[in-house]
């Protein structure tokens, strides 16, 4: 529900890719030149367990969906262009995208191949890899994955934390944004009839946010960009949920780093397993899968606290909550299998660090960028579904377009509030590997036999 624009006070909750890029875009719009903008995050920047902070993220226009392929391609040129502030965080290593024969990931890779061939018509940029031998030759590590795929030599990866530091610096430089380190415990709702729009509405209005230290801030517009934590503060059941994904890290010698410097990103859309070229002598093996849910019984704050009841919601569990957290054996085993297959020389090198990183998954992998249908003054900028980082240079602009009522036509349905809630949120965009339906505690309970 659109509040009167431009709002005098704008409160952005969360300073990941979605929150910070929105803050930057707002400072660049003349319409918002008088708005006071505040960004709140529970962690001092960079948030150690935020999804936007890590050694690396894949930057690719390789999507089965044409609108995402086009938008990612625009973002990619901003990562790549030497005069762009983001280019220092970007490496154009190439991406080898593969699938296993007769698997669910194959149609995604085929559609993606068609989309990037149209986007990158230069011969040599995109090349089909027919069979495992061609894949291994392109990867150059003595290993490979999958049976069919292609290489996009204009894709790459970004040092995720470096990209976020650049973005944060740009926002700070504007001098327009106040940053606060506070933990949001609830939104502030008013149940009174709102007469602030031309058509009076009876929907509760969001008036700001309350924090764990007992303080609060009021705002005319609250933008919820709390990543995987959003569903624990706003009821998104059946529309978005947190799923944990495994990452395992291993150290390399200087020589190994040198040897792997020129490898492309390798991503198998059937298994979900991927390896990004190492950075600072650390190699990461990870899974883009269905992930683990972490269902916990909580009360989601509502406009009528007395009516709120406990419901089951998947919430992130990270090293901030438990410093000894290690991935379940199932996840580590899959990472080991992938390492053995993709870089055989490192097959038995122990993982020295692991992490569970949290996606904000939606049923179809689309972002959730829209006004809340029931609470005026609340805008949702979330639902990254494991692929939001690459859009860092452009997503803030699209979020602010949508705030202004100008959501890009091709994303209007995709980013909208889904009318029908689904029973269980399982992202079915064709890109996920692994087993659906895994529960973190169940997998943890199986112990480690590794």
Ligand X SMILES: Cc1cc2nc3c(=O)[nH]c(=O)nc-3n(C[C@H](O)[C@H](O)[C@H](O)COP(=O)(O)OP(=O)(O)OC[C@H]3O[C@@H](n4cnc5c(N)ncnc54)[C@H](O)[C@@H]3O)c2cc1C
Distances (CA, A) of 136 to 123, 206, 287: 21, 54, 20
Q: Using CB under 6 A, pick the residue from 22, 55, 115, 245 that binds ligand X.
A: 245
Question: Does 328 interact with ligand X (rule: CB under 6 A)?
Answer: no
| Cβ at position 269, least distance to ligand X in Å | 13
Residue (285 or 346) nearer to ligand X, CB:
285
Residue (113 or 389) nearer to ligand X, CB:
389
Residue (41 or 147) nearer to ligand X, CB:
41
Residue (129 or 160) nearer to ligand X, CB:
160
Residue (21 or 27) nearer to ligand X, CB:
21
Q: Which of residues 276-315 bind ligand X (CB under 6 A)?
A: 286
Neighbours of 305 (CB within 10 A): 10
Instruction: Report the chain's terminal Cα–Cα distance, integer Å.
Output: 52
Q: Using CB under 6 A, pick the residue from 363, 388, 393, 434 that binds ligand X.
A: 388
When CB distances to ligand X are compared, the closest residue is 16
Question: Does 50 interact with ligand X (rule: CB under 6 A)?
Answer: yes
Q: What is the CA radius of gyration of the chain?
A: 22
Q: Which of residues 409-428 bind ligand X (CB under 6 A)?
A: none
Q: Using CB under 6 A, pick the residue from 279, 387, 398, 414 that binds ligand X.
A: 387
Question: Does 386 interact with ligand X (rule: CB under 6 A)?
Answer: yes
Neighbours of 173 (CB within 10 A): 11
Encode 256-277: b = buried (16+ Cβ within 10 Å), e = exposed. Answer: bbebbeebbbbbbbbbbbbbbb
CA-to-CA distance for 57 and 145, rounded, in angstroms? 19
Residues 6+ apart with CB under 8 A from 110: none
- DSSP 3-state percent helix, strand, coil across the chain (nearest 5): 30, 30, 45
Neighbours of 232 (CB within 10 A): 21
CA-to-CA distance for 197 and 92, rounded, in angstroms? 48
Pair type for strands 126-130 and 148-152:
antiparallel
Per-residue interface string for the shown chain with ligand X, residues 85-124, x marking contact by CB under 6 A: ----------------------------------------
Question: Does 227 interact with ligand X (rule: CB under 6 A)?
Answer: yes
Neighbours of 166 (CB within 10 A): 19
Question: Does 395 interact with ligand X (rule: CB under 6 A)?
Answer: no
| Cβ at position 279, least distance to ligand X in Å | 13
Question: Does 216 interact with ligand X (rule: CB under 6 A)?
Answer: no
Q: Using CB under 6 A, pick the residue from 109, 119, 187, 225 that binds ligand X.
A: 225
The 3-state DSSP class for residue 284 equals strand
Let me know how many helices (H) and strands (E) the chain has, helices first: 11, 24
Question: Does 336 interact with ligand X (rule: CB under 6 A)?
Answer: no
Question: Does 51 interact with ligand X (rule: CB under 6 A)?
Answer: yes
**Stretch of 47-55, 77-85, 113-121, 191-199 lying at the interface with ligand X (CB under 6 A):** 47-55
What are the phi and psi torsion angles at 349 (to 5°)?
A: -70, 125
Which tokens in the block code for residue 444? 């943890």
Per-residue interface string for the shown chain with ligand X, residues 343-372, x marking contact by CB under 6 A: --------------xxxx------------
Residues linked to residue 369 through DSSP beta bridges, in sequence order: 381
Q: Which of residues 247-276 bind ligand X (CB under 6 A)?
A: 247
Chain-centroid distance of CA 97 in Å reads 19
Question: Does 223 interact with ligand X (rule: CB under 6 A)?
Answer: no
| Cβ at position 38, least distance to ligand X in Å | 12
Question: Does 16 interact with ligand X (rule: CB under 6 A)?
Answer: yes
Question: Does 25 interact with ligand X (rule: CB under 6 A)?
Answer: no
CA-to-CA distance for 414 and 367, rounded, in angstroms? 7
Q: Which of residues 143-172 bind ligand X (CB under 6 A)?
A: none
Q: How many residues bind ligand X (CB under 6 A)?
A: 38
Q: At 268, which helix (H) or strand (E)?
A: strand 265-268
User: Is the peptide bond preceding residue 6 cis, with omega within 30 degrees of 0?
Assistant: yes
**Stretch of 43-51, 307-315, 338-346, 410-418 lying at the interface with ligand X (CB under 6 A):** 43-51
Answer yes or no: are the C-beta atoms of 75 and 391 closer than 8 Å: yes
Residue (226 or 444) nearer to ligand X, CB:
226
Question: Does 19 interact with ligand X (rule: CB under 6 A)?
Answer: yes
**Stretch of 101-109, 224-232, 346-354, 410-418 lying at the interface with ligand X (CB under 6 A):** 224-232
- Chain residues binding ligand X by CB under 6 A are 13-19, 40-43, 47, 50-52, 57-58, 183-184, 225-229, 245, 247, 286, 357-360, 382, 384, 386-390
């Amino acid at each position: 529900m659109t509040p009167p624009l431009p709002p005098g006070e704008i409160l952005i909750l969360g300073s990941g890719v979605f929150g910070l890029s929105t803050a930057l875009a707002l400072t660049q719009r003349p319409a918002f030149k008088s708005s006071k903008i505040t960004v709140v995050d529970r962690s001092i920047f960079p948030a150690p367990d935020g999804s936007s902070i890590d050694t690396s993220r894949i930057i690719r226009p390789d999507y089965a969906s044409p609108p995402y392929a086009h938008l990612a391609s625009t973002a990619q040129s901003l990562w790549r262009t030497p005069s762009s502030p983001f280019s220092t965080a970007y490496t154009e290593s190439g991406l080898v995208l593969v699938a296993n024969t007769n698997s669910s990931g194959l149609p995604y890779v085929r559609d993606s191949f068609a989309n990037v061939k149209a986007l990158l018509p230069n011969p040599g940029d995109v090349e089909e890899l027919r069979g495992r031998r061609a894949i291994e030759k392109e990867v150059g590590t003595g290993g490979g994955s999958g049976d069919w795929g292609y290489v996009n030599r204009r894709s790459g990866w970004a040092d995720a934390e470096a990209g976020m530091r650049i973005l944060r610096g740009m926002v700070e430089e504007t001098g327009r944004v106040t940053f606060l380190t506070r933990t949001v415990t609830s939104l502030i709702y008013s149940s009174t009839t709102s007469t602030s729009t031309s058509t009076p509405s009876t929907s509760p209005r969001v008036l700001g946010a309350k924090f764990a230290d007992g303080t609060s801030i009021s705002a005319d517009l609250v933008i919820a960009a709390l990543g995987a934590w959003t569903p624990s503060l706003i009821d998104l059941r059946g529309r978005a949920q947190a799923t944990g994904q495994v990452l395992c890290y291993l150290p390399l010698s200087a020589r190994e780093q040198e040897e792997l410097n020129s490898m492309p990103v390798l991503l198998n859309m059937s298994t979900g397993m991927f390896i990004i070229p190492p950075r600072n002598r650390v190699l990461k093996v990870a899974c883009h899968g269905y992930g683990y849910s972490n269902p916990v019984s909580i009360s989601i704050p509502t406009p009528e606290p007395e009516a709120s009841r406990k419901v089951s919601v998947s919430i992130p569990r990270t090293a901030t909550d438990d410093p000894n957290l290690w991935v379940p054996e199932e996840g580590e085993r899959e990472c080991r299998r992938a390492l053995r297959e993709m870089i055989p020389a490192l097959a038995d090198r122990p993982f020295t660090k692991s992490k569970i990183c949290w996606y904000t998954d939606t049923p179809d992998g689309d972002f959730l960028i829209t006004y809340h249908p029931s609470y005026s003054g609340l805008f949702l900028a979330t639902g990254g579904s494991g692929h939001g980082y690459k859009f860092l240079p452009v997503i803030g602009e699209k979020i602010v377009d949508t705030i202004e009522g100008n959501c890009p036509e091709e994303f209007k349905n995709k980013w909208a509030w889904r009318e029908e809630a689904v029973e269980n949120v399982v992202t079915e965009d064709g890109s996920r590997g692994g087993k659906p339906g895994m529960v973190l505690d169940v997998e943890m309970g199986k112990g480690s036999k590794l």
